[in-house]
Each structure stands twice: as C-alpha cells, then as structure tokens.
Amino acid sequence: MNHRIAIIAVSAALLCHYGKAQTVPVTPTAFRPAESNQPGKLYPQVNTTGHVRVSIAAPLANKVQLDIGGKKYDLAKDEKGVWTGESLPQDEGFHYYQLIIDGAAIPDPASRYFYGAGRLGSGIEIPAPDEAFYALEDVPHGLVSENIYYSSLTQTWRRCFVYTPAAYYTSNTSRFPVLYLQHGSFEDETGWATQGKANLILDNLIAQQKAKPMLIVMDNGYAFKPTDSTSTAPARQGASIFEDVLIKEVIPMIDSRFRTLANKENRAIAGLSMGANQTMRIAMNHTDKFAYYGGFSGTSNYPDSNAIDVNQFLGGKFKDGAAVNKQLKVFWLGLGTREPVPFPASVGAFRAMLDKQGIKHVYYESPKTAHEWLTWRRSLHQFAPLLFR
C-alpha cells in the first residue's frame, strides 16, 4: 500500500428502524466476512444474494435481534450462549445496523464503527457488481489529512479533511483545482473519506485518466452562530452560519495552506442530501466563487410540487436561465432509483423548473439504490470526471 494513503479511523452511526421481527432460514449461498469488519473478525458476514449474518456471544440474554434495513430479525441461541441469525437480502452498498439485546440497541463489537445518524455505530458493506470503482487498487494514492482550524465566526475549534492527489507530491510547484464536498444530515466531515470512499474513487479515476487531479475539501456542515455566553438561560444552538464559515474562513485557509488554483474556474462544490441543499444555496449565492455544482439526493431546497415561483425560489436565482448557464459550467443532479418520498417528486419538479427556464443540467440515476452511500459514491464517480475540463 502506498505510504501516502491516510487511513482515517473514524466512526459512523446507526439508523434505528423498527419493524416486525422475523426469523429467516439459513440460505445455502456461501457467506464470507464483510469488508467492513473489525480486523480478524469472522462476523458479520454477507453473501452474493445480499443476506447479512451476524453472531454474538450473550449467554445471559433472553432475546437478541438484528436491526437492519428497517426490519428486525430474531437470532437463535446455541448451547454455548452464542446468538446467530441472518436478514433477508439487503440492497447492495453500505448499510448502518445494530443489535438489540433484551431491548437495548448496541453496536456490533465485530463491526468497524462509523459516524452517521448522529452517533457512532456499526456499518456493513453489501457487495455491489460495480464495487471496483471504489476499491483499494494498486494505483498511486493520495493523502487524506486532518486540518484543524479556529473559527472566529463560530468561536469554536473545527476541522476539515483534505484529499490531496498523488500528483500533488511529485512536484513542488504544480497547483490544483478544488472540490468542496459536503456530507448529509446527522453526519460529519469524516463521512466522505470513510463511508463515501471519496479518496479511493478519485485515486482510481485519476489513475485511469478519467478525472483531473484535484483536492477535495470535506468540512463539517454544522456551523452555528455563538450564543450569548453571559446569559443565564439554558444553552441554545445559534443560527446556522455554515455558508459564511465556508466562504470567509475555509476557502481562504485552503488557498493559503495548499497549492490551489484559487479562482472560480478551478473551484467546484457538491454535497449529498442536506449537503446538496447547502451547497446549492452557496453556489447560487456565490457564482463568483464556483463554476461547477453537484447535488446528490437533494431535498428541502428543491420544490415539492410543480408550482414553482422562480422569482422567489432561492431569491430568484433561477429566473434568468441564460445567466445560470453562463455562470455554471456544470449543473449536476443525481438520485437513486429507490429513493423514498419525497426525493423523486421534489427532484423531478426541480428538474422540470430547470427545463422550463432553459437551464442546462446533467441528471444521473443510480440503479437499485436508495438514500444511501452507494448512490452518493456513484454520483461522485459520475460527477468528478466532468470537473475542470
């Protein structure tokens, strides 16, 4: 493995879903340890049909369940007190899950931990037919570095992770374009470099000469105005000021710390879900800063019906289609084919508005994926080759 790979041991979280418990018979298809396991752990296991099998020693427990994909599955106990069971087939890609022991939801100690749903917890990779594009391959690898900074706007210490491509280290003079890439709700700045595998996706694309070498900056989308420290009232979260933090603090810091091409034509911004909505607003409010936009599974900033008042939507930023086409070289939208309500309707209505206004855009659908990391990995894989051309 190239010594410049940064292995970020970060965590993700559990999505707690409730449904009718069921016991699933063991299938004959061979199981193997999941790629996302703790080192040396045999469980959890997956097979080619997407079944997940878990096992945990809990001799004093009365009931143990696997909670994954919105359903609970009963595990069976053997004479040694080891509980084992499996789920119905899960969609390909990355999933959060948890174990429930006598009613208490816990992370699986055999899984690596990830941060998502606002907490640390278990995650599992279900094999996908196209997983090679985010696999660890024998290609030149970049570095993912942790960058700590003090934010005067939030009056807190913050951090962002920065991917620098392998080419960054072969020359001391070359400068590079930058993609600012944001996570979703109840996630943080670690998501894209762990669950998202953004560094491996770019390593492989660059090695195949399908994408230009670029930096990727992954910051925390939760940034709030400080509250009055002299108040005796209970502490409350201030207003979100992430846009100001990114524009006034993060971008200048990145341009000063790294060899960037510090201009609009060499700067892109994208995000998933909440991050798609944040970055759309930022891109449209700062068209002097970004020439490329990517929205992966965006929601609340997109309309939920076809009745769109372009004079009001995002302050009327879309009423002049010709101006938008001139300001943005790429306007990109992506969605999974199995996304839940309201994503298909809201994104579809937003695209209809773009068409009505004559705004050019690229649209991509990830087959057989929902509001999940494989959708967003595939979106990045499709989006990155279009940048900085």
- Residues 82-131 have pLDDT tens digits of 999 999 999 999 999 999 999 999 999 999 999 998 889 999 999 999 99
- The residue that leads in pLDDT, 346 or 77, is 77
Gap between the Cα atoms of 91 and 195, Å rounded? 16
* Average confidence (pLDDT) over 168-185: 96
pLDDT of residue 310: 87
Q: Is residue 80 predicted with pLDDT exceeding 60?
A: yes
pLDDT of residue 313: 83
* Average confidence (pLDDT) over 143-168: 98
pLDDT-wise least confident of 26-40, 66-80, 345-359 = 26-40
Gap between the Cα atoms of 281 and 255, Å rounded? 22
Q: Is residue 277 predicted with pLDDT exceeding 90?
A: yes
Q: Is residue 151 predicted with pLDDT exceeding 80?
A: yes
Convert 239-253 to b/e letters by CB count within 10 Å (16 or more is b): eebbbbbbeebbbeb
Is residue 77 helix, strand or coil?
Answer: strand
* Average confidence (pLDDT) over 303-323: 80
Lookup result for tokens 């057989």: 368
pLDDT of residue 1: 41
The count of other CB atoms within 10 Å of the CB of residue 164 is 21
The amino acid at 250: V
pLDDT of residue 314: 87
Gap between the Cα atoms of 344 and 318, Å rounded? 20
pLDDT of residue 228: 62
**Tens digits of residue pLDDT in 209-236:** 999 999 999 999 999 999 865 544 444 5
As a whole number, the mean pLDDT across the chain is 90
> Cα 385 from chain centroid?
18
* 113-116/45-46 β-pairing: unpaired
- The residue that leads in pLDDT, 303 or 128, is 128
CATH architecture of 32-127: Sandwich (2.60)
What are the φ and ψ backbone dihedral angles of 201, each rounded to 5 degrees? -60, -45
Stated pTM of the model: 0.89
H/E stretch holding 323 reads helix 321-327
pLDDT of residue 171: 87
pLDDT of residue 299: 66
* Average confidence (pLDDT) over 192-201: 98
pLDDT of residue 273: 95
Q: Where in the chain is the domain with CATH 2.60.40.10?
A: 32-127
pLDDT of residue 274: 95
The amino acid at 63: K
> Cα 194 from chain centroid?
9
Tell me the residue ranges of DSSP E strands in the chain: 32-33, 45-46, 52-57, 64-68, 71-74, 76-77, 82-86, 93-101, 104-106, 113-116, 119-126, 143-151, 156-164, 178-182, 215-219, 267-272, 292-296, 330-336, 362-366
pLDDT of residue 309: 81
* Average confidence (pLDDT) over 374-386: 98
**Tens digits of residue pLDDT in 29-41:** 799 999 999 999 9
Q: Hey, what CATH topology would domain 133-386 get?
A: Rossmann fold (3.40.50)
Percent of the chain with pLDDT over 90: 80
* Average confidence (pLDDT) over 60-74: 96
Q: Where in the chain is the domain with CATH 3.40.50.1820?
A: 133-386
Q: Is residue 8 predicted with pLDDT exceeding 90?
A: no
- The residue that leads in pLDDT, 306 or 20, is 306
107: its two tokens: 């992370």
